[in-house]
């Protein structure tokens, strides 16, 4: 499944459009950056409530297909700026991490 | 020497010298190049309480005790002070409490030998003496590390025009290898600037990725190790330099910082152990996974650290064919 397909299935808002054609290889859920560094894989979507600019560095280093910032958290301007520069997809959603992860899982991701 | 795939598991290898640069330094330098010259000393008939006050005010943890001819007859350290406190002997003289079997080093003794002695004896300092056995200085592991850091900094600023605070633009296309030479890239890391954390490792990864020589698995390992080392400097140190030595077969990452150092490396390697502040943790850092992640993903990891002075982390990742 591609990121753009996800947009039709969940009430996601595209905050930064890096490359919506990216293929999703799996998912990763954590707010601790080092845990994400240790476990995240190429092409994963990462669900978190962190919204500061360091999430872009982590997503870029691990080549994530998107960051989903859940729980209705607002994204910092600096994060948006950096994500645009790095071509990282950032999506937001009002639902909590638990619900988002559950839905993605049931979609086969 | 580059090679060996053993991983650091404890502080036994604290002072093990493997990097060729460090090895050369340690063999070129002598005690007199590194030691502190102005040594505070006391005599056997002075009071322990004086020693205690000096140690407290000067923030030092040991004082050499000398005779009238400036020869070392003992040393008084925190352990001796504790013994004196336990005896409840406020007017006690140093002669009664000092340690008499003092290990000294000579002025012209090589740093590499002295480092090995620190490892063997586990003392925090050695008095330095001349040929007449007269005290001329004192040396601690911290003195050695600071000297190394200074030389490393000079070495980098004089030898690598590509030392960058700005972007390493245009370097990608120059990542061509001469088989005998490593491509060297250095990045300055500013302590405390969380917004920049990950910049250096992102640049390193993109340069490596653009060369098209490396497997995805290798790039991921380099990304994790360099990111964690960089974040450690940002969170804990005042400043640092990350240098990557790049060859087609491996990347060696050396991150040297000036900072508080690591008091107990073995403990710091435990997953979940962290000294990061609450503020840093709220941003999702300081999970205590940094060194653990480095140990897990690097093929070889060496940590040299002196509390109060700084830390040098050296990690090697091999680009193994058929992986990824």
Domains defined for chain A, CATH in brackets: 3-107 (3.40.1390.20)
The SS3 assignment for A98 reads helix
Per-residue pLDDT tens digits for A3-24: 999 999 999 999 999 999 999 9
Pairs of residues, one from chain A and one from chain B, whose beta carbons lie less than 8 Å apart? 69
Percent of chain B with pLDDT over 70: 83
Taking residue B147's Cβ as centre, other Cβ atoms within 10 Å add up to 16
Query: Is B289 close to A35, i.e. CB distance below 8 A?
Result: yes
Q: Which of B22, B20, B57 is nearest to B182 (CA)?
A: B20
Place of tokens 């030998």: B113
- Report the residue of B169, B198, B219, B324 to disrupt the A interface, i.e. the one with the largest count of A CBs within 10 Å: B198
- A71 burial (CB, 10 Å; 0-12 / 13-18 / 19+) is middle
Q: Evaluate whether ipTM surpasses 0.90.
A: no
Q: What is the pLDDT of residue B248?
A: 83
Q: Tell me which residues of chain A, numbers 14 to 43, contact chain B at a CB-CB cutoff of 8 Å.
A: 31-35, 37-38, 41-42
Q: What is the pLDDT of residue B154?
A: 65
Q: What is the pLDDT of residue B6?
A: 41
d(CA B242, CA B226): 8
Mean pLDDT of B2-7: 40
Per-residue pLDDT tens digits for B156-204: 654 443 433 333 433 444 555 555 567 888 889 988 888 888 989 998 9
Taking residue B53's Cβ as centre, other Cβ atoms within 10 Å add up to 11
Element (H, E) at B303: strand B300-306
Per-residue pLDDT tens digits for B81-112: 999 999 999 999 999 999 998 999 999 999 98
Find the CB nearest A61 among B195, B227, B283: B227
**Whether the Cβ atoms of residue B25 and residue B151 lie closer than 8 Å to each other:** yes
- DSSP string computed for B111-158: HHHHHHHHHHH--S-EEEE-TT-BEEEEE-HHHHHHHHHHHHHHHHHH
> What confidence tier does B210 reach under pLDDT thresholds 50, 70, 90?
confident
Q: Which of B181, B221, B215 is nearest to B201 (CA)?
A: B221
Across the beta sheet with B239-246, the strand order is: B183-190, B239-246, B250-258, B310-318, B300-306
């Amino acid at each position: 499944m591609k990121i753009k397909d996800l947009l039709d299935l969940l009430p996601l808002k595209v905050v930064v459009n890096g490359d919506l054609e990216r293929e999703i290889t799996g998912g990763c859920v954590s707010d601790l950056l080092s845990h994400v560094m240790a476990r995240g894989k190429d092409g994963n979507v990462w669900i978190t409530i962190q919204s500061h600019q360091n999430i872009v560095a982590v997503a870029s280093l691990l080549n994530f297909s998107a960051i989903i910032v859940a729980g209705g958290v607002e994204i910092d301007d600096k994060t948006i700026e950096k994500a645009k520069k790095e071509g990282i997809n950032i999506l937001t959603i009002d639902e909590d991490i638990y619900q988002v992860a559950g839905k993605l899982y049931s979609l086969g991701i | 020497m580059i090679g060996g795939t053993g991983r650091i598991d404890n502080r036994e290898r604290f002072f093990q010298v493997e990097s060729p640069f460090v090895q050369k330094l340690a063999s070129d330098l002598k005690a007199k190049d590194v030691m502190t010259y102005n040594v505070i000393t006391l005599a056997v008939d002075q009071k322990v309480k004086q020693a205690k006050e000096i140690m407290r005010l000067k923030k030092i943890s040991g004082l050499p005790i000398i005779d009238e001819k400036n020869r070392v007859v003992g040393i008084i350290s925190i352990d001796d002070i504790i013994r004196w406190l336990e005896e409840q002997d406020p007017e006690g003289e140093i002669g009664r409490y000092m340690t008499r079997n003092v290990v000294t080093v000579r002025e012209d003794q090589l740093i590499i030998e002295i480092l090995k002695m620190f490892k063997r004896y586990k003392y925090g300092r050695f008095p330095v003496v001349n040929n007449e056995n007269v005290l001329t200085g004192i040396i601690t592991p911290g003195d050695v590390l600071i000297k190394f850091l200074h030389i490393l900094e000079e070495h980098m600023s004089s030898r690598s025009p590509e030392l960058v605070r700005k972007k390493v633009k245009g370097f990608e296309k120059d990542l061509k290898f001469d088989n005998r030479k490593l491509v060297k890239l250095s990045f300055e890391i500013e302590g405390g600037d969380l917004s920049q954390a990950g910049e250096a490792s992102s640049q390193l990864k993109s340069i490596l990725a653009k060369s098209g020589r490396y497997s995805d698995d290798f790039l991921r390992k380099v990304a994790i190790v360099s990111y964690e080392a960089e974040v450690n400097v940002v969170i804990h140190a005042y400043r640092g330099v990350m240098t990557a030595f790049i060859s087609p077969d491996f990347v060696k990452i050396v991150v040297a910082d000036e900072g508080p150092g690591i008091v107990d490396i073995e403990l710091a390697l435990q997953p979940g152990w962290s000294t990061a502040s609450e503020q840093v943790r709220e941003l999702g850092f300081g999970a205590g996974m940094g060194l653990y992640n480095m140990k897990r993903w690097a093929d070889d990891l060496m940590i040299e650290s002196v509390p109060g002075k700084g830390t040098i982390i050296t990690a090697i990742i091999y680009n193994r064919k058929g992986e990824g």
